[in-house]
Structure 1
């Protein structure tokens, strides 16, 4: 029997729908909300309204592209947590309505677990167990994955996420939102060792980026005081140096976790895994250490319903369903 699942992602500012059939992603439609660019960040109320406007056409497009009718679905999945509560509610209520009308099971998916399992979408996928460095605007974690339903956090950030460090640095440099990709773009033409930024001394596999953000702020304040054109004249080198430090912080922890656990299959996931500098350094580390490395395609790195769909498929096979009374949560329910 073929298993057809519709998945909805609405945790932040992307409205996305995906159709998964027997573990294969047949469609992954993403509508990005450009309205937030003028505010320099996501405005929760505007995000919720945009989801309401976009969810019907996005779902309709996903079903049509996959060639699947609502009446053919075996289950429907949605992002339960974490995220903006207003945005989550739009996806949750839409999914519940379809589950009720079609009389099909409802599957609640954790957003960060879905980022990890995005690595199971391609045919060339990691074998269990594997470690995944999950890096996004709100989270930074090292996760051990022993099966699609057995995931455990080995380490995570104690304060700010790596993605936030990228975006805040971009804002300090006067770059428009979203600034993280622009830091990556400028860094490609800069010297990563032009400026030395501090590395936090955090034990085990945990991370911290608040101190680095402060150091970057003071560095820019001091240098622009002496030379008002400092940033403009040295943008590429500054971005390359900031990116180099963030990447070394991330990969040093992942390397330690791999050495301590003896796990040689490594993955990265989350929005920041689309960063070209991180992808290149991650693959280089794998070649040097003799480890197998895996990175999702770009469309499965940022928030998308494809990762929700593949996670939902494995939960379906494990009979892990949610009641219609399930409510979304802004906090991470691991």
Structure 2
């Protein structure tokens, strides 16, 4: 049932290689449409110029579908929320330009959103049977471009207390997956194969990084040198040991991540852990977090699979809370590829 106080937010996400639009009624998702770009697979990574072109092709039909699927008209919209950054500049500009134009045409507020904040606030979408974290909590953003530990004190009071010094966790999955001769993106393939392998079969290096920061370049180098040595003796080594390689690599990544979270819990005294970002779909990470609920009495929050990867619903929930705060954006707002909290 609708009333005059209901807030309808159209959200647009275009930070990387997924064009997404969602409509939220207050904190409830009415539609969440995502158009993925397959063009990057043959290049083994996202090509920025191709990404922005694909966004231009997808954005109109995706937004139209989101509004139609939500069962509302454009006139019912209360505001337009869009990703300001971080992300690929060309891709961001497609989303922000469309958002500004539609905001101007409909004479409704424009709301800018930080993509990384959205990955954490996605937990506040109203979903049946899913509880929401209480402030303060530790937000763990794990994706292809970011690895961060964030102390979340409020919807908009967040402090990064640890981050990667080099590769992001998702980048490590993709680069090592390429060494394992797996298709891009490699993360889901590694996760699936790891389930069939022995995680104790091979030992890879665990970087020794002070504080709450991460480094994945040493692990990547460890895998590279190990494979070079083994394939010199046996050219079929990777093919013959693929499941065990994936399991051993994934176990090491999980070990690196969980040990840093343990350190953050000890340092802050906060035992509520909420993860977000594409790598939060990884089953090894999810299982490890659930195990800590028992052994360490943590309370963990894991997003639904559809909210792990880049999506507009997470932009919309931030837009909703910003709308309540009357935190609106000028049409002169500029996209920011390195937008920080």
* TM-score range relative to shorter protein: over 0.9
2:313 pairs with 1:294: no
2:59 pairs with 1:55: yes
2:287 pairs with 1:283: no
Given that residues 7 and 26 in structure 2 are in contact (C-alpha distance below 8 angstroms), is that contact kept between their aligned partners in structure 1? Answer: yes
Consecutive unaligned residues in structure 2, runs of 5 or more: none
Given that residues 12 and 84 in structure 1 are in contact (C-alpha distance below 8 angstroms), is that contact kept between their aligned partners in structure 2? Answer: yes
- How big is each residue's C-alpha offset from its partner over 1:235-293, in whole Å with a ceiling of 9 and x where there is no partner? 00100010011111011111111122111211111000011111111111222111111
2:202 pairs with 1:195: yes
Given that residues 173 and 186 in structure 2 are in contact (C-alpha distance below 8 angstroms), is that contact kept between their aligned partners in structure 1? Answer: yes
Rounded Cα–Cα distance in structure 1 between residues aligned with 2:323 and 2:108: 11
Partner of 2:124: 120
Counterpart mapping for 1:60-209 below 5 A: 60-121=64-125, 122=127, 123-209=130-216
Rounded Cα–Cα distance in structure 1 between residues aligned with 2:339 and 2:226: 33
Given that residues 149 and 314 in structure 1 are in contact (C-alpha distance below 8 angstroms), is that contact kept between their aligned partners in structure 2? Answer: no
Rounded Cα–Cα distance in structure 1 between residues aligned with 2:324 and 2:212: 32
2:39 pairs with 1:35: yes
Rounded Cα–Cα distance in structure 1 between residues aligned with 2:199 and 2:328: 47
SS at match of 1:320: coil
Per the normalisation by structure 2, the TM-score is 0.96
- Choose which of 256, 259, 278 in structure 2 pairs with 1:252: 259
Given that residues 129 and 263 in structure 1 are in contact (C-alpha distance below 8 angstroms), is that contact kept between their aligned partners in structure 2? Answer: yes
Moved over 3 A (4+): none
SS at match of 1:330: coil
SS at match of 1:29: strand
Rounded Cα–Cα distance in structure 2 between residues aligned with 1:285 and 1:264: 10
Per the normalisation by structure 1, the TM-score is 0.98
State the number of aligned residues: 334
Rounded Cα–Cα distance in structure 1 between residues aligned with 2:314 and 2:229: 43
Rounded Cα–Cα distance in structure 2 between residues aligned with 1:132 and 1:149: 13
Partner of 2:316: 309
SS at match of 1:147: coil
SS at match of 1:58: helix
SS at match of 1:26: strand
Instruction: Give the Å deviation of 1:71.
Output: 1.1
Given that residues 84 and 339 in structure 2 are in contact (C-alpha distance below 8 angstroms), is that contact kept between their aligned partners in structure 1? Answer: no
Consecutive unaligned residues in structure 1, runs of 5 or more: none
Instruction: Give the Å deviation of 1:168.
Output: 0.2
Rounded Cα–Cα distance in structure 2 between residues aligned with 1:300 and 1:2: 23
SS at match of 2:270: coil
Rounded Cα–Cα distance in structure 2 between residues aligned with 1:185 and 1:175: 12
